[in-house]
Amino acid sequence: MTQDRNQRAPVSGEYLRASTLGELAAFVAPIRLVEYDPKWPHRFEEEAKRIRTVLGQHALRIEHVGSTSIPGLTAKPIIDIVVVVADSGNETGYAPALERVGYPFGQKTRMW
Protein backbone atom coordinates (compact mmCIF):
# COMPACT_ATOMS: atom_id res chain seq x y z
CA MET A 1 0.00 0.00 0.00
CA THR A 2 1.39 3.44 -0.90
CA GLN A 3 1.26 6.33 1.49
CA ASP A 4 -0.86 9.34 0.52
CA ARG A 5 1.33 12.40 -0.19
CA ASN A 6 -0.65 14.43 2.32
CA GLN A 7 -0.09 11.79 5.01
CA ARG A 8 3.74 11.80 5.02
CA ALA A 9 5.54 12.16 8.32
CA PRO A 10 7.50 15.41 8.74
CA VAL A 11 11.17 15.27 7.79
CA SER A 12 13.38 14.87 10.86
CA GLY A 13 16.13 17.28 11.87
CA GLU A 14 18.59 14.38 11.64
CA TYR A 15 17.62 13.75 8.02
CA LEU A 16 17.92 17.47 7.18
CA ARG A 17 21.39 17.72 8.77
CA ALA A 18 22.57 14.64 6.88
CA SER A 19 21.29 15.89 3.52
CA THR A 20 22.13 19.61 3.70
CA LEU A 21 25.36 21.22 2.50
CA GLY A 22 26.54 24.04 4.72
CA GLU A 23 24.80 25.30 7.81
CA LEU A 24 21.29 24.08 8.54
CA ALA A 25 19.19 27.17 9.20
CA ALA A 26 15.46 27.69 9.51
CA PHE A 27 13.89 29.78 6.79
CA VAL A 28 11.54 32.19 8.51
CA ALA A 29 11.02 34.88 5.89
CA PRO A 30 7.81 35.08 3.85
CA ILE A 31 7.93 33.20 0.57
CA ARG A 32 7.27 35.47 -2.40
CA LEU A 33 5.45 33.94 -5.36
CA VAL A 34 5.14 35.72 -8.68
CA GLU A 35 3.44 35.09 -11.99
CA TYR A 36 5.46 33.15 -14.55
CA ASP A 37 8.09 35.28 -16.28
CA PRO A 38 8.94 34.28 -19.87
CA LYS A 39 12.48 35.60 -19.25
CA TRP A 40 13.24 32.74 -16.82
CA PRO A 41 14.31 30.22 -19.51
CA HIS A 42 16.65 32.85 -20.99
CA ARG A 43 18.14 33.61 -17.56
CA PHE A 44 18.72 29.90 -17.07
CA GLU A 45 20.45 29.65 -20.48
CA GLU A 46 22.71 32.59 -19.57
CA GLU A 47 23.74 30.88 -16.33
CA ALA A 48 24.11 27.49 -17.99
CA LYS A 49 26.44 29.09 -20.54
CA ARG A 50 28.58 30.58 -17.72
CA ILE A 51 28.71 27.19 -16.00
CA ARG A 52 29.60 25.35 -19.24
CA THR A 53 32.35 27.89 -19.90
CA VAL A 54 34.10 27.27 -16.57
CA LEU A 55 33.41 23.56 -16.18
CA GLY A 56 33.84 22.46 -19.77
CA GLN A 57 33.62 18.69 -20.08
CA HIS A 58 33.24 18.31 -16.29
CA ALA A 59 29.60 19.40 -16.70
CA LEU A 60 27.92 16.30 -18.09
CA ARG A 61 24.51 17.89 -17.84
CA ILE A 62 23.05 21.24 -16.79
CA GLU A 63 19.31 21.39 -16.17
CA HIS A 64 16.75 24.04 -15.32
CA VAL A 65 14.64 22.51 -12.54
CA GLY A 66 12.04 23.67 -10.07
CA SER A 67 8.98 25.82 -10.48
CA THR A 68 10.57 28.45 -12.76
CA SER A 69 11.20 25.72 -15.35
CA ILE A 70 7.46 25.13 -15.86
CA PRO A 71 5.87 27.59 -18.29
CA GLY A 72 2.84 29.37 -16.85
CA LEU A 73 3.40 28.26 -13.25
CA THR A 74 3.37 30.80 -10.43
CA ALA A 75 6.74 30.43 -8.67
CA LYS A 76 9.40 31.80 -6.37
CA PRO A 77 11.53 33.97 -8.68
CA ILE A 78 14.65 31.84 -8.18
CA ILE A 79 16.25 29.92 -11.03
CA ASP A 80 17.15 26.45 -9.75
CA ILE A 81 19.95 24.70 -11.64
CA VAL A 82 21.25 21.15 -11.36
CA VAL A 83 24.76 20.45 -12.61
CA VAL A 84 25.71 16.81 -13.13
CA VAL A 85 29.40 15.90 -12.91
CA ALA A 86 31.03 12.48 -13.27
CA ASP A 87 32.18 12.33 -9.65
CA SER A 88 30.42 14.69 -7.26
CA GLY A 89 32.81 13.57 -4.53
CA ASN A 90 35.74 15.08 -6.43
CA GLU A 91 34.90 18.63 -5.36
CA THR A 92 38.38 19.95 -6.16
CA GLY A 93 37.68 19.08 -9.80
CA TYR A 94 34.75 21.46 -10.19
CA ALA A 95 33.96 23.56 -7.08
CA PRO A 96 36.79 26.12 -7.46
CA ALA A 97 35.69 26.92 -11.03
CA LEU A 98 32.10 27.46 -9.89
CA GLU A 99 33.25 29.67 -7.03
CA ARG A 100 35.26 31.85 -9.45
CA VAL A 101 32.06 32.75 -11.34
CA GLY A 102 29.98 33.48 -8.26
CA TYR A 103 28.59 30.15 -7.11
CA PRO A 104 29.85 29.62 -3.55
CA PHE A 105 30.15 25.88 -3.11
CA GLY A 106 27.75 24.34 -0.59
CA GLN A 107 25.59 27.46 -0.41
CA LYS A 108 22.47 28.54 -2.20
CA THR A 109 23.15 31.53 -4.40
CA ARG A 110 20.55 34.09 -5.34
CA MET A 111 21.31 35.57 -8.75
CA TRP A 112 18.19 37.75 -9.17
Domain ranges of the chain: 32-100
pLDDT of 6:
58
C-alpha span between 40 and 79 (Å, rounded)? 7
73-94 per-position pLDDT tens digit: 999 999 999 999 999 888 888 8
Q: SS3 of 23, please?
A: coil
Report the top-level CATH class of 32-100.
Answer: alpha beta
| 67 touches 76 (CB < 8 A) | yes
Per-residue pLDDT for 29 more than 50? yes
pLDDT of 107:
55
pLDDT of 112:
44
C-alpha span between 40 and 109 (Å, rounded)? 16
